[in-house]
Structure 1
Amino acid sequence: MNITTEFPYETTREDVYIPLPGGTRLYARIWRPLTDEPVPALLEYLPYRLGDWTAPRDWQRHPWYAGHGYASVRVDVRGHGNSEGLPGDEYDAQELADGVAVIHWLAQQEWCSGRVGMFGISWGGFNSLQIAALAPDPLKAVVTVCSADDRYDNDVHYMGGSVLAVDMHAWAATMLAFVARPPDPAQVGDEWKAMWLKRLEAVEPFIHTWLAHQSRDDYWKHGSVCEDYGAVKANVLAVGGWHDPYRDTVLRLVEHLDPGQVRGIIGPWSHQYPDRGLPPGPAIGFLQETLRWWDQHLKGKETGVMREPLLRSWISGSHPPATVYETLPGRWVGDASWPSENVNPVAYALQGGERIVASPQQTGLDAGRFFPFGNEADLPPDQRDEDAKSVSFEFPVEEAPIEILGRPRVKLRLRMDVPRGQVVARLCDVAPDGASTLVTRGALNLAARHGRDRTDDWPPGETEDVVFDLNGIGHTFPPGHRIRIAVSSAYWPWIWPQAGSAGFTLDTDGSFVELPVRRHTEDPAITFGEPEQSEPLGVVYPVTLEEPRPERLVVRDVAKGEWRLEVDPRYGGTRVYPDGLEFTEDALETYTIQQDDPLSARTRSDWRIRLHRPEAAWDVEIETRSEIAADEHDFITSDEVICKDGGEIVFHRTWEKRIPRTAG
């Protein structure tokens, strides 16, 4: 990592409140170049508390942009951090309207040229796209990283029409812990506690809303850019990683937006900015690449960025299974169009007649983390145990390597004796020694086989063909290896099991896997600069002698036939900021299931947060608990928030709710 200390411009920084229509003000931090000339503004707009949680990351990039001639602005969403107002739902109409108002405010400042760009990763990447679809006139360019254009089928809530247990639960619990945090008296003054209590009274766990919409309805269509790609007028640089769950959005954006307004980059990365150097690498000079985008579309400079291939992709070489890779083997390729003329579907017919697929309910414990962040236990380990719980089909790679780029597809002929169930397909690279590396996967709620917007029970005893895509990937299968497609009827804790799910019969006659095979091309060299950032904030992470608990721990109770997965998401631990703020957060997720009972599935998340300013005698603690269970008819949720000021409980609320199982 190159740390830049000298820039074309000297810079200044100020914290301000941006007024919105109606009088609410949003907290913002603005880094600007010291120049008499107006400059474009760049906006990153998040609920994740610029005063503490994202501050280390903000310091890596916002001052860098300012030093290169941009006003770089970080804004907290309404009701979060030090912003005024009450928190709302994820990407709700108020959040997007506020974002549009912020863009117009920025464009009207005397230091702004009137042209605005918007960028972000994850939430900030989502709302960048969503606000671009509202087409505010000053917004001319967007850089969206690890985000999704489809809130239903490519977010944290549902996968193939099934409840995405692992992150439907975990992210709802995470946001409950986020929204319960107070504003900082160092910024808002004595009003902090009244603001905090007012927010807490307005809290409603996200899980209630998300589980109330189990099919693709108007709730999910709101904010899903895939509903109308033509609404996006800004120029879009879409960036993703093959180990990020949102990567397919990049493929859809380069397919559906006008080629004159979009470019895509997919690297080997996890759910992180590509310059941070977190596994898997290689990292790239992402800030320099985005500067080319901003200069082209906000300053009118010819940077050559639109002469780059429509899609630049990393195709990984074969690698043994591991839960973390510092760097993956592979190469960059470029495609001038998408779908690409270099990629053709090749079908591999399944063989073997009828096969019964009845996976034990704990199948999926080796799935790895839904959101890899570059931690040591994020990625899937050797898949041999998972493959043994599945029905597998193999195809040898003989004389020449097989390179794939895009979304594999499976067509399966199934017979099922119950109305509800799910099917999961995993594509693996099997080495000569038998090691099985997960390449990609996909899932389908069989009640959603005719569309995500409807629920159709399976006629018991009937046979039907189902077709679904796996997540996109760039990968090379070398000669001597085997391509394995493994089919299972369970995938816990990613997929919440259907009540009564007992598996199905797979008829190989008419069943196949279709791979997007890319012909090997000698591409012009695709290169990126070395990673570069501005000076770090100077946050101190105290060293502890305590042995950290495992990131992912699987426990089996042999007598009960029960399996428990414990996950420490490693969000931050304890850190001390330069202004004296001491910040501690700790979280533990638990997923439990019995191997023969789909109704035994349970999830639980526990969070503990402390914010402490010793010099101001300010000491706040938050504890949250979130649980989900289900019976045949309902999901059963339980949530609790306890907030303390100086050790005294000032807020305590529990929510108990039953939500009918309409599709999940």
Structure 2
Amino acid sequence: MEIVTEFAYKVLEIEHCLIPLSDGTQLAARIWLPDTASVQAFPAILEYLPYRKRDGTALRDALTHPWMAGQGYVCVRVDMRGNGESQGLMADEYLLQEQDDALEVIDWLCQQPWCDGNLGMMGISWGGFNSLQVAARQPEALKAIITLCSTDDRYADDIHYKGGNLLLENFGWAATMLNFSAAAPDPLLVGDAWKSLWQQRLDAMPLLAETWLQHQTRDAYWRHGSVCEDYSAIKAAVYAVGGWGDAYKNAVPRLMQHLPGPKKAMIGPWIHKYPHFAVPNPAIGFLQEARRWWDHWLKGIDNRVMDDAACTFYLQDVLAPKGSYAERPGIWVQTSGWPDPQVQWTDYSLNDHGLSPGQQALGGPRSICSPLTTGLHQGEYCAIWFGPDGPTDQRRDDAQSLCFDSPPLAEPLALLGDVRLHLRLASDTPCGQLVARLNAVAPDGQVTQITYGVLNLALREDFSRLTPPVPGEPMDVQLNLDHVGVRVPAGHRLRLALSTASFPLLWPSRELTTLTVLPAVQRVQLPIFSGAAVPCPFEAPQAASPVALEVLRAAAPKRTLSEDVGSGEVCVTIEDDLGAVRFTEHGLAVDQRCTEQYRTLPWDPLSTQADIHWQYRVERAPWSVAVDSRLQVRADAQWFYIEAQQQALENGVQVHHRTWSKRVARVAL
């Protein structure tokens, strides 16, 4: 990545600025602006997050916002209420209050002499979500957004539920927010008020694991903030960006299909990171591409950005399976929109010979009851921390699944889009999970996952309404696997693997279930892409100068699997050690680490447990604070049981301790 230090405008920085809201709360902002902003107004670009501008996003902010400010924009990074140096309290994610605050921030920005009244919003993950949500509120000044790694449907495609199943990452994220939101403001910025602000947050800390678990179907709680409820509400131009290595790729084609206004999209090979510094490579000149977008929509420059292809996708080559890749070879392709005539969904059938083109019926029933430990090599739901979080060799999971293999491919096969599975099956219980993985089997036997999908059979017809399977009765099921862009080499076989569990991706159903695929035409539709490669349409990645840091302990993410041979219990341990650093400029030292442990027995669905422990420490001698948070979850057939603890220390002395003990009924799970 090229580091740029000379720009069209010299960049000034306001390190800490308070934005007043109508209820008296003040939100903290960091602002980068051109040096001529005292005599000339510029468009503003807002990024609005709960992740603490002082330390949480400081590294990526330094790479991104000064670069864009140097192109003639005012870049504003705001901490949401109850986070960082902002006042107030945050009760949950994506509340109406969050949107209302953003609208007031936009109004305030428009009133500043350095803002010309034209605004954009940009953000990844949470900031991508609220960019869409705020756009749906239609503030007049908001002309365009760039939403990265986000979703249009908070129930179907977020970190809580997938296919109507409970993600164990729901608890991982709840534990993360329990710790992140308890971080103290920096006294160097807020003075003596830091302690009262911190104490208020600690005293009012919500247990989000309980809140999210109380909504097990797609009810009004999840519909709020899901812009798919009314795509037409979004009038601003939308650039949707995703990565095949990220959990949030499915929203990009949906937004392109349903948004009525101006729109563009790209999906690269990346995990949950901005594309100018994401992995796997190739990273791209995302900032240059964003500048073209902003120049057109915020400055009115006729740079023909909207004359480019509407969608740009990276088709990555199938490689030997590995938990993470430094680089993914592949090709760039473009379409005029989504869906596109270059993609044709082609029928393959699951039949007595395996998997083959056409619609040949399965001659006899095939049954599967997978051990609950199936899925150990699925990988993380969302790869965030640069660790070995991707799917590894699928052979061991395939051995516990019902598999249908194709003959070796005579020619390479390009897939772009969602794989659509249509099955007629029966369950022996009124619950159950269907897990489908499309894999590529190499000539040497290694198995690489291409894509996957999961479905809670009790919510198969409608995620908002329970329809439990009637044991033994046939049911028709459609399951759309995650969107994918991939090239499968000639000589590989395709494998469709079906199982009834995926641990630790999903919390198991309350009962062991045997699924029977019935004699019938069982179809899988593959999105076969027939278009040609294009030269990479993006420049090489650039960024502004990185923040000056002293590394006190290098980040060391790790994922391990262990098995108690006597009991059969399997434990997955994920060590999210984010390392420890000291910011050279202001001396703040930050140390963050987390250990997640997920356990289950292979044949006991009520044995599953989650235990997540976060530690956060920040100091600038002689001052130091630390927060230690722990979340534990187990379940029986009727209830989930949540235990949580939080301890806060100031200079080594405990100043806060709180425990929670809750139970939530199992309604749809």
Structure-2-length-normalised TM-score: 0.96
One-letter amino acid of the structure 2 residue matched with residue 564 of structure 1: C
Q: 2:38 matched to 1:66? A: no
| Correspondences of 1:525-536 after superposition (within 5 Å) | 525-536=535-546
Aligned CA distance change for structure 1 residues 649 and 596 (closer, same or farther; 3 Å)? same
Q: Conserved in 2, the CA contact under 8 Å of 1:236 and 1:263?
A: yes
Q: Structure 2 unaligned runs (5+)?
A: 353-363
| Correspondences of 1:465-544 after superposition (within 5 Å) | 465-519=476-530, 521-543=531-553
Provide the rounded CA distance (Å) in 1 between the counterparts of 2:30 and 2:296.
25
**Correspondence for 1:552:** 559
**Correspondence for 1:264:** 265
The offset of 1:477, in angstroms, is 1.7
**Correspondence for 1:317:** 317
Q: 2:368 matched to 1:357? A: yes
**Correspondence for 1:611:** 618
**Correspondence for 1:133:** 136
Q: Conserved in 2, the CA contact under 8 Å of 1:7 and 1:68?
A: yes
The offset of 1:373, in angstroms, is 3.1
SS of the residue corresponding to residue 477 of structure 2 reads strand
Q: Conserved in 2, the CA contact under 8 Å of 1:393 and 1:485?
A: yes
SS of the residue corresponding to residue 294 of structure 1 reads helix
The offset of 1:571, in angstroms, is 3.1
Q: Which of 466, 474, 496 lines up with 1:463 in the alignment?
A: 474
Q: 2:65 matched to 1:55? A: no
One-letter amino acid of the structure 2 residue matched with residue 372 of structure 1: A
SS of the residue corresponding to residue 240 of structure 2 reads strand
Q: Conserved in 1, the CA contact under 8 Å of 2:441 and 2:447?
A: yes
The offset of 1:129, in angstroms, is 0.6
The offset of 1:271, in angstroms, is 0.5
Q: Conserved in 1, the CA contact under 8 Å of 2:386 and 2:557?
A: no
Provide the rounded CA distance (Å) in 1 between the counterparts of 2:419 and 2:535.
27
| Correspondences of 1:73-472 after superposition (within 5 Å) | 73-165=76-168, 167-258=169-260, 261-276=262-277, 278-352=278-352, 353-373=364-384, 375-472=386-483
Provide the rounded CA distance (Å) in 2 between the counterparts of 1:142 and 1:398.
42
SS of the residue corresponding to residue 608 of structure 1 reads strand
**Correspondence for 2:642:** 637
Higher mean displacement: 573-582 or 529-538 = 573-582
Q: Conserved in 2, the CA contact under 8 Å of 1:397 and 1:477?
A: no
The share of aligned pairs that are identical, in percent, is 45
Provide the rounded CA distance (Å) in 1 between the counterparts of 2:557 and 2:61.
29
Provide the rounded CA distance (Å) in 1 between the counterparts of 2:337 and 2:206.
44
Q: Which of 568, 586, 589 lines up with 2:596 in the alignment?
A: 589
SS of the residue corresponding to residue 514 of structure 1 reads strand
Provide the rounded CA distance (Å) in 2 between the counterparts of 1:551 and 1:575.
23
One-letter amino acid of the structure 2 residue matched with residue 635 of structure 1: F
Aligned CA distance change for structure 1 residues 283 and 508 (closer, same or farther; 3 Å)? farther
Q: 2:653 matched to 1:648? A: yes
One-letter amino acid of the structure 2 residue matched with residue 631 of structure 1: D
Aligned CA distance change for structure 1 residues 662 and 76 (closer, same or farther; 3 Å)? same
Provide the rounded CA distance (Å) in 2 between the counterparts of 1:58 and 1:45.
12
SS of the residue corresponding to residue 396 of structure 1 reads coil
The offset of 1:631, in angstroms, is 0.4
Provide the rounded CA distance (Å) in 2 between the counterparts of 1:104 and 1:550.
41
Q: Conserved in 2, the CA contact under 8 Å of 1:317 and 1:328?
A: yes
Q: Conserved in 1, the CA contact under 8 Å of 2:369 and 2:512?
A: no
Q: Conserved in 2, the CA contact under 8 Å of 1:322 and 1:381?
A: yes
Provide the rounded CA distance (Å) in 2 between the counterparts of 1:524 and 1:367.
32
The offset of 1:182, in angstroms, is 1.2
What do you get for the CA RMSD once the two structures are aligned? Answer: 1.3
One-letter amino acid of the structure 2 residue matched with residue 25 of structure 1: Q
SS of the residue corresponding to residue 72 of structure 2 reads coil
Output one character per residue of 1:218-242: Cα deviation in whole Å (capped at 9) or x when no partner: 0000000110000001111000001
SS of the residue corresponding to residue 177 of structure 2 reads helix
The offset of 1:504, in angstroms, is 1.3
The offset of 1:577, in angstroms, is 4.2
Q: Conserved in 2, the CA contact under 8 Å of 1:168 and 1:207?
A: yes
The offset of 1:351, in angstroms, is 1.2
Provide the rounded CA distance (Å) in 1 between the counterparts of 2:254 and 2:177.
28
Higher mean displacement: 574-583 or 195-204 = 574-583
SS of the residue corresponding to residue 549 of structure 2 reads coil
Provide the rounded CA distance (Å) in 1 between the counterparts of 2:480 and 2:658.
42
Provide the rounded CA distance (Å) in 2 between the counterparts of 1:619 and 1:503.
54
The offset of 1:648, in angstroms, is 1.3
SS of the residue corresponding to residue 56 of structure 2 reads coil
The offset of 1:570, in angstroms, is 3.5
The offset of 1:476, in angstroms, is 1.4
Q: Conserved in 2, the CA contact under 8 Å of 1:574 and 1:585?
A: no
Q: Conserved in 2, the CA contact under 8 Å of 1:430 and 1:437?
A: yes
Higher mean displacement: 182-191 or 213-222 = 182-191
SS of the residue corresponding to residue 321 of structure 1 reads coil
Provide the rounded CA distance (Å) in 1 between the counterparts of 2:533 and 2:106.
39
Provide the rounded CA distance (Å) in 1 between the counterparts of 2:276 and 2:533.
23
**Correspondence for 1:6:** 6
The offset of 1:86, in angstroms, is 1.0
One-letter amino acid of the structure 1 residue matched with residue 99 of structure 2: L
Provide the rounded CA distance (Å) in 2 between the counterparts of 1:269 and 1:342.
23
Provide the rounded CA distance (Å) in 2 between the counterparts of 1:414 and 1:60.
52
Q: Conserved in 2, the CA contact under 8 Å of 1:279 and 1:374?
A: no
The offset of 1:550, in angstroms, is 6.5
One-letter amino acid of the structure 1 residue matched with residue 103 of structure 2: V
One-letter amino acid of the structure 1 residue matched with residue 416 of structure 2: L
The offset of 1:523, in angstroms, is 4.9
Provide the rounded CA distance (Å) in 2 between the counterparts of 1:204 and 1:9.
44
SS of the residue corresponding to residue 525 of structure 2 reads strand
Q: Conserved in 2, the CA contact under 8 Å of 1:280 and 1:374?
A: no
SS of the residue corresponding to residue 568 of structure 1 reads strand
**Correspondence for 1:578:** 585
SS of the residue corresponding to residue 551 of structure 2 reads coil
The offset of 1:136, in angstroms, is 0.5
One-letter amino acid of the structure 1 residue matched with residue 662 of structure 2: K
Aligned CA distance change for structure 1 residues 577 and 445 (closer, same or farther; 3 Å)? farther
Aligned CA distance change for structure 1 residues 254 and 549 (closer, same or farther; 3 Å)? closer
Q: Which of 625, 629, 632 lines up with 1:624 in the alignment?
A: 629
The offset of 1:529, in angstroms, is 0.5
**Correspondence for 2:357:** none
Q: Structure 1 unaligned runs (5+)?
A: none
Provide the rounded CA distance (Å) in 1 between the counterparts of 2:149 and 2:129.
8
Aligned CA distance change for structure 1 residues 44 and 381 (closer, same or farther; 3 Å)? same
